[in-house]
Amino acid sequence: MKRIRPLLILFISALLISTNLGAQTRVDQDLLNEILKIKAIDNHAHPLKYVADGEKPDDEFDALPLDAITPFPLPVRLTLPNL
- pLDDT reported for residue 53: 92
Cα–Cα distance between 82 and 59 in angstroms, integer? 41
CA distance 50 to 58: 8
Rounded Cα distance, 66 and 12, in Å: 60
Average pLDDT over residues 47-60: 84
* Average pLDDT over every residue of 32-36: 91
Share of the chain above pLDDT 90, in %: 12
Query: Is 80 exceeded by the pLDDT of residue 27?
Result: yes
Distances (CA, A) of 16 to 5, 11, 20: 16, 9, 8
Task: Summarize the chain as % helix, strand, coil (round to 5).
Answer: 40, 0, 60
